[in-house]
Structure 1
Amino acid sequence: MNTSDALLILSALGHPTRLDAFRLLIRHEPDGLSTGELVDASGLTQSTFSTHLAVMVKAGLVLSEKRGRQQIQRANLDALRGLMIYLAKDCCQGRAELCEPLLAELTCC
């Protein structure tokens, strides 16, 4: 991942509606949610939410697949992993032991 990719993802997540939707999709991996379920959870209109969804898709955070008549949205965990690695790669000046509390918190839940 490069700086431009990271900024695109961070910008997409920088809105409460998109952050909430992405976190909801993460909780529903690997099955994903239909677009309608995401719209209902957001409390927004279909057209308003579709704008937010388009931003997340453009940033590579959300993958869409057709299942029957429904569009299923899934969190792109590879994009999330890439962002996390990009942010933490040079963590603590190469002293991995200083990052252990962060890793422990991620694995405990």
Structure 2
Amino acid sequence: MEEKHVIQALAALAQPNRLQIFRSLVVKGPDGLTPAMLAESMGLPANTLSFHLKALMHADLITQERSGRHLIYRAQFHRMQAVLAFLTQNCCQGADCEVSSGTLCTTC
């Protein structure tokens, strides 16, 4: 993954509402959520939600699919994994390390 794409993704997630939207879509998984579901759960007006969804789509972190009269938004899990891989690419100076949730790498 190119550095400019990582920066774009991180910039999109560096806003509280967008981070919350993305996390909601990650939690929902492949089923995704409609804008109405997102707006209701977050308490955002439709135009504000639309603005944030466009920013996340521009960063290629989410997808949009039409299902009948509804739009379904889903997290791009492969993109999220690519950003994480980029960030940890040189962890432990290339040596294998096992970092568990909430603990620091013991070899770094």
**TM-score exceeds 0.5:** yes
1:24 paired with 2:36, answer: no
Check if 1:63 corresponds to 2:78.
no
State the percentage of identical aligned residues: 34
1:101, CA displacement in angstroms? 2.1
Q: Which moved more, 1:36-45 or 1:49-58?
A: 36-45
1:49-106 deviations in whole A, cap 9, x for unaligned? 1101100000000100011111000000011010010001111101212xx123xx39
Q: How does 1:68-107 map to 2 (within 5 A)?
A: 68-97=68-97, 100-102=98-100, 105=101
The residue identity in structure 1 corresponding to 2:28 is H
d(CA) in 1 for partners of 2:20 and 2:96? 31
- Alignment-derived partner of residue 42 in structure 2: 42
User: 1:43 Cα shift?
Assistant: 0.9
**Which blocks of at least 5 consecutive residues in structure 1 are unaligned?**
none
Could you tell me which amino acid in structure 1 is paired with residue 99 of structure 2? P
Matched residue count: 102
Alignment partners' CA distance in 1, 2:34 and 2:20: 15
TM-score of the aligned structures, taking structure 2 as reference length? 0.90
Partner secondary structure for residue 101 of structure 1: coil
> Secondary structure of 1:73's match?
strand
Structure 2: distance between partners of 1:45 and 1:51? 10
Task: Detail structure 1 runs of 4+ shifted over 3 Å in the superposition.
Answer: none
Q: Distance in 1 between matches of 2:45 and 2:51?
A: 10
Determine if contact 2:57/2:63 at 8 Å carries over to the other structure: yes
Task: Return the alpha-carbon distance in structure 2 between the equivalents of residues 70 and 94 of structure 1.
Answer: 46
Q: State the Cα RMSD in Å.
A: 1.2
In terms of fraction of residues, the more helix-rich structure is: 1
